[in-house]
Structure 1
Amino acid sequence: MIEFAAASGPRLMLDETSVLDIGGCIVNGVDIAPKRAIPDDGDPRIDHSLEGFLFTCGPDHIRHRQPIPGRDDGKVYPLHGSASGHSAKVLWTKYENGNAECRADIDIVTVDGLQQRIERLWRIDGATGEARLEDRVINASDEVVPTFLMYHMNVGGKWLDEGTRLEGRMLENGGSPWAFGEEPGGIFCVPAPATEEGFAEVRLGPIAAIGGRTLSLRFRADTLPFLQIWRNQKAPAHIIGIEPASHRWVARDELEAAGEFNMLAPGESRSYALSFAFL
């Protein structure tokens, strides 16, 4: 893990063994990642990633296993796609004027055996404490392929309390208590239109365990036009996930039939971005 921090803001543990995703996220001395309070998905790559504060789904598939068309060997698209478990080549890490920056390339081999690349840039603003992620997904293969992306931002449920709420303009009635729906959990996915500067925003807080701070997540709404939120309190799981996504929460073949694949020709790319702060 790379310890990544600026003059203010969270202290992040970037996992160079898996996409340079975030393992630990320490705020006010508390690591709010769920750790092992997660469901067992039967895929050690995903279990490893799910323990952390943020992991990346895609770029060949998001959500649920599905058979790969035209194959008779039983091989399926893996849960959440192929990115997890691919190591990052860190190009630089800089700490200047109280700010932090880390740039890496992640070369991915998809379940179809095709080459894809994520060019990843992490920044933390030392003045505001805001962390920002910019990703460019490049089709490095010689075939035209669809690209998908979803970010899982996972918080351990044990750090939340009765006063913690989910709030956002895309949510029904503008928000709800964090423990929405029926026990022991639930899931929903809604369109997330931009509110300002092309970004959508959702908040989780206040969280008494980290000094009453609220997690504010902003994400680029043109390439991440949906927000999925899930929680799972079925023991041993105790987790809530806030998940900007490139596509609706439906089966892959339904997206294809509706013409909702984002196709990339060889060498073409698609860019995504999010930022978060503890206010």
Structure 2
Amino acid sequence: MKAFSAANGPKLFLDETSVLDIGGCFVGDTDLSPGRAIPDDGDPRIDHSLEGFLFTCGPDHIRHPEPIEARHDGRKYPLHGSFSSHPAEILFWDAQGDDAECRARVRVTMATGEPALLERHWRIDGETGEVSLSDKVINTGRKPFAPVHMYHMNIGAWLFDDHVRLTGKMLEGGGFPWTFGKDPGGVFCVPAAGAGEPWAEIALGPIAAIGGLTLKVKFRADTLPHLQIWRNQKAPAHVLGIEPVSHRGASRYELAEKGELGLLKPGESIEYGLRFSFG
């Protein structure tokens, strides 16, 4: 893990062994990542990624395993896609001044055996403390594929008290307590923003464990038009996830049947963006 921080904002630990995702996310002395307080889905790649504050699903799959189209050997897309465990090649790293910035590329072999490339750009604004992530996925193979993408932002829910709420225009009533649904947890997925809105916003807080600060998350609504939220308090899990996502919560078969998957042709690219801050 490489420490990544600026004059203001959180101190992040970026995982070079897995897509340059975020392992630890420290606000002061408090790490918000869930660590081992996570469910075990039987995939060691995802077990490792889920421990951290943010990991990336895709570029070929985003949820639980489903059969690969046009295959007759029973092979499935892996849990949350192929990104996890692919190492990052760091191209630029500057965290010496007030701001912090790095660029990397990740060469990915998808479940079909075809290649893709992720170009990743992290930046922390030293004045505002806002963290920005810009991603470009490029089809470097010879066949089209359906691009899908999800950011898992996972927070250790033992840090929360009864005053912590989820707030956003996409939520029923504009927001509700973090303990939504029935115990020990659940999941929902909703449209993220109104028509024409370039960015969607969701907030979680105030979090007393980090001085009453609120986590504020923004994400590109054109390529991440849905927001999935989940929580799991079934021991040993104690985690809440904020998950901007490219597609609604439906099977690949249903999405394809309704023309919602789309295709990325060889040489084409698609971009995603995420920002977060504490205030």
Deviates more, 1:211-220 or 1:257-266: 257-266
Does the Cα contact within 8 Å between 2:197 and 2:221 map onto a contact in 1?
no
Q: Which amino acid aligns with 1:227?
A: L
The SS at the match of 2:47 is: helix
- Equivalent residues in 2 for 1:62-211, closer than 5 Å: 62-95=62-95, 97-193=97-193, 198-211=198-211
Does the Cα contact within 8 Å between 2:6 and 2:97 map onto a contact in 1?
no
Deviates more, 1:124-133 or 1:258-267: 258-267
Question: Deviation per CA, 1:183-225, whole angstroms, max 9, x where unpaired?
Answer: 0001000001159971100000000000000000000000000
Distance 2:268 2:29 in 1: 42
Specify the alignment match of 1:54 in structure 2. 54
- Equivalent residues in 2 for 1:192-271, closer than 5 Å: 192-193=192-193, 198-271=198-271
Does the Cα contact within 8 Å between 2:4 and 2:95 map onto a contact in 1?
no
Give the Å deviation of 1:263. 1.1
Distance 1:260 1:72 in 2: 24
The SS at the match of 2:95 is: strand
The SS at the match of 1:24 is: strand
Distance 1:49 1:115 in 2: 21
Deviates more, 1:80-89 or 1:196-205: 196-205
Specify the alignment match of 1:34 in structure 2. 34
Give the Å deviation of 1:92. 1.1
Runs of 4+ residues deviating >3 angstroms: 194-197
The SS at the match of 1:118 is: strand
Distance 1:175 1:262 in 2: 32
Distance 2:196 2:106 in 1: 30
Percent pairwise identity: 60
Q: Which amino acid aligns with 2:30?
A: V
Does the Cα contact within 8 Å between 1:230 and 1:240 map onto a contact in 2?
yes
Deviates more, 1:238-247 or 1:94-103: 94-103
Deviates more, 1:37-46 or 1:190-199: 190-199
The SS at the match of 1:218 is: strand
Distance 2:235 2:169 in 1: 31
Does the Cα contact within 8 Å between 1:227 and 1:243 map onto a contact in 2?
yes
Q: Which amino acid aligns with 1:205?
A: G
Distance 2:140 2:15 in 1: 23
Where do 5+ consecutive residues of structure 2 fail to align?
none
Does the Cα contact within 8 Å between 1:62 and 1:79 map onto a contact in 2?
yes
Give the Å deviation of 1:96. 5.2
The SS at the match of 2:46 is: helix
The SS at the match of 1:173 is: helix
Does the Cα contact within 8 Å between 1:54 and 1:152 map onto a contact in 2?
yes
Question: Deviation per CA, 1:89-118, whole angstroms, max 9, x where unpaired?
Answer: 000111354000010000000000000010
Deviates more, 1:143-152 or 1:189-198: 189-198
Does the Cα contact within 8 Å between 2:45 and 2:85 map onto a contact in 1?
yes
Does the Cα contact within 8 Å between 2:139 and 2:267 map onto a contact in 1?
yes
Aligned CA RMSD, in angstroms, stands at 1.2
Q: Which amino acid aligns with 1:50?
A: L
Give the Å deviation of 1:62. 1.0
Taking structure 1 as the reference length, the TM-score comes to 0.98
Does the Cα contact within 8 Å between 1:148 and 1:262 map onto a contact in 2?
no
Distance 2:176 2:185 in 1: 14
The SS at the match of 1:67 is: coil
Does the Cα contact within 8 Å between 1:194 and 1:220 map onto a contact in 2?
no
Give the Å deviation of 1:70. 2.8
Q: Which amino acid aligns with 1:62?
A: I
Distance 2:40 2:124 in 1: 32
Q: Which amino acid aligns with 1:51?
A: E
